[in-house]
Amino acid sequence: MNQFITIFKKELKDILRDRRTLIMMIIVPMIITPMLIVGILKIQRVQLEKAKAKEIRVAFLGKENSSQLYQIFKEGEKIVLIDNFPEDSIAASIASDEIDGAVIVRSDFPSNIESDRQAKVEIYFKSSEAFGSAIKRMTDLIESYDKQIVEERIDRLNLDKDLFNAVAIVKKDVSSVQERIGKIAGGYLPYMFILFSFMGTMYPGIDLGAGEKERGTLETLLSSPANRLQIVLGKLGVVSLSGIISALIAILGIYLAIQMIEDIPADILKVILDMLGFKIIITILTLVIPIAVFFAAMVLSISIYAKSFKEAQSIIGPANMIIVIPVIIGLLPGIELNAKTALVPILNVSLASKDLLAGTINPFHLVEVYFSLFLLAGIAVWGCVRWFNREETLFRT
Amino acid sequence: MITVTHVSKEFKLTKKSRNEMGGAYRNAKTITAVDDVSFECLPGSVFGLLGPNGAGKTTTLRMVATMLKPTSGNITVSGFDTQTYPQKVREKIGFMTGQTALYDRLTPNEMVRYIADLQGMGVNEFKSRRDQLFDVLDMHDFANRRIARLSTGMKQKTSIARTIIHNPDVVIFDEPTAGLDVMTSRRIVELIRTCREEGKTILFSTHRMEEVKLLCDDIAIIYQGRLFFCGTLEAFEAQMTFDSFEDEFIHMTSEV
């Protein structure tokens, strides 16, 4: 026990003095997370506003067939109308961004409108255009014209408006704001802390295994009275702790990011901050602990097998992908925590966190998640200890 | 005291290493790194394990230090069997290799303290032993500087201090002077002599014949895992048919 504490204390001191570990463990999750969240939202908003504010150039063909529609387009905000555009060059001009769209009103349009039939307006656009702002603005204007004509017809024929709206849908959403946000955004929180808890274990894990071999200190340690179980557990303790701290800091980073986003309505902000309340964070942390222990055992096993820092890195790098896959599956809509998914490691943490945040967690499933995680962590630690006891692993040539 | 009795060590061969080694090893499942080796190292004397690279020296030393388990035979260190009482054995030994084997982010003080703690030394015992060693090795000036920033000489001193901080009965040196300059090598040689004067058992491996002459009381010559000679240095010199150690060694092993 004493030796375990000695090793734990020394390894902790050692990694806390390693700049690389500190950057990965504290700085990256602390700064990258808020920057990523706030940055992406900001870029998205700026782009959207830009698209809205952009002046679009629309070719209007058949002005003589509907002066009313032409007028509506003319009065439309930030629209430059081009008359007398040759019809055969519309497609090419939109493709080359010379114009953003085109409206064609054919000669049968007035007669159809006058005889209360359906008249057609053709619009040309490019759906690949970012935010589809041209098509949306053109459609909005035509729809407003359509509404105007329909209302005129109803009035003229003295009909009841309800004739055309036989069924009105009255939507009553019983999910709370917390549930809605939890289900939509809840997946990203576990995504962040699962990844960061893995990244937090990476450098210390490599350093305390392969690094020890590279420095030649492994022999010093192995020829000390500490037995191999104490050595592995001391190292695992520090690597796991590093993963847990990283995850915690990532959560803190998200918390900060939310407060940095300017245009969250006050009531929604309150719900979000309530969601990230003490009790939920503690529950999520209890999920992080076994997952961090699992990552630590995995990284340390690879690291102790590798002959050098470089080799360990080259094996652990791709392992990142294996972790990302279940996390991304957890982000997909329709994948929910049930008796089966609760048993799939990593994915279950992602799904359970989503439910925890939404306040809809099924306690039975949560127990299953814990069972699966602790079992996995236990197996990983057992494997790591056995691995460390193998002469072929320690003195691999 | 170290007693090695009929010790052999086999390693499993991976497919990759079988292919790399080729020849007789292509179909072999194991390779014998140490083959029926016996010798005895006495307290107050220096025992040199002599042989070229790959002869089985490091494997033998690692078995003595309980890092590897012998496939057959047994080893005792200060009366404790390495397989039955590995922890007791590790309390008795100090192990040093050619690498300084230090933690760059610790200071010499912390490094030495770490080993002392692992050895279960009491605080007062540690402090007096540390001060004594730091005096002898003239280490006080850099005792609290990070090891990464120390010169090779300072690192070597730290490495010496950590090897013998717990005042072990047995000190094992695995090619301690490999790659070192003359000055630093000399410090190791002095350390070995001091340990001998203190009555410690010293087992040391080398492939440098001049070190053997300089230091050893007893020697064992090992080649391809097998022992070719075991006895006192005088006995070896008496039966030499060539003038130099090198020539004698090459002659001895040429028949294999």
DSSP annotation string for A257-289: HHHH-TT--HHHHHHHHHHT-HHHHHHHHHHHH
- Tokens 């070896």 sit at which residue? B236
Residue B65: predicted pLDDT: 93
pLDDT digits (tens, 9 = 90+) for A299-324: 999 999 888 889 999 998 888 888 88
- State the Cα–Cα distance between residues A347 and A327, nearest whole angstrom: 6
Within 8 A by CB and 6+ apart from B177, the residues are B98, B184, B185, B188, B189, B206, B208, B211
- State the Cα–Cα distance between residues A135 and A73, nearest whole angstrom: 13
Residue among A248, A293, A278, A327 nearest A30 (CA): A248
H runs (alpha helix) in A98-227? 109-114, 133-156, 177-185, 188-208, 210-215, 217-222
| List of domains in chain B | 2-101+168-254 (3.40.50.300)
Gyration radius from chain A CA atoms:
31
Of the candidates B12, B117, B172, which has its C-beta nearest A6's C-beta?
Answer: B117
Name the pLDDT band for B256 (thresholds 50, 70, 90). low
Q: Which amino acid is at B231?
A: G
pLDDT digits (tens, 9 = 90+) for A190-203: 778 888 899 899 99
Domains of chain A by residue range: 7-38+177-394, 57-164
- State the Cα–Cα distance between residues A397 and B14, nearest whole angstrom: 10
| Helical (H) or strand (E) element with B37 | strand B30-41
pLDDT digits (tens, 9 = 90+) for B37-82: 999 999 999 999 988 888 899 999 999 999 999 999 999 999 999 9
pLDDT surpassing 70 at residue A138: yes
Angle separating helix axes B108-118 and B152-164, nearest 10 degrees:
20
Verify whether the Cβ–Cβ distance A215 to B104 is below 8 Å. yes
Give residue ranges of A with CB < 8 Å to any B CB.
2-3, 6-7, 10, 13-14, 17-18, 215-217, 219-227, 391-392, 394-395, 397
Verify whether the Cβ–Cβ distance B162 to A6 is below 8 Å. no
Cα separation of the two ends of chain B: 31
- State the Cα–Cα distance between residues A265 and A255, nearest whole angstrom: 16
Closest approach of A4 to chain B, Cα-based (Å): 9
pLDDT digits (tens, 9 = 90+) for A11-47: 999 999 988 888 888 888 888 777 877 888 788 788 8
User: B182 with B190: CB under 8 angstroms?
Assistant: no
Q: Three-class SS of residue B3?
A: strand
pLDDT digits (tens, 9 = 90+) for B186-231: 888 888 888 999 999 999 898 877 788 888 999 999 988 999 889 9
pLDDT surpassing 90 at residue B105: yes
Verify whether the Cβ–Cβ distance B91 to A225 is below 8 Å. yes
Length of chain B (residues): 256
Task: Summarize the confidence of residues A225-253 as an average pLDDT.
Answer: 91
- State the Cα–Cα distance between residues B77 and B7, nearest whole angstrom: 14
Residue A146: predicted pLDDT: 92
Q: Which amino acid is at A320?
A: N
- What is the pairing mode between strands A121-124 and A101-105? antiparallel
- What is the pairing mode between strands B170-174 and B201-206? parallel
Region A57-164: CATH code? 3.40.1710.10
Interface mutation target, options A224, A227, A392, A397, chain B, most CBs of B under 10 Å:
A224
pTM (2 d.p.): 0.81
Q: Is B115 on the interface with A (CB under 8 A)?
A: yes
Share of chain A above pLDDT 90, in %: 28
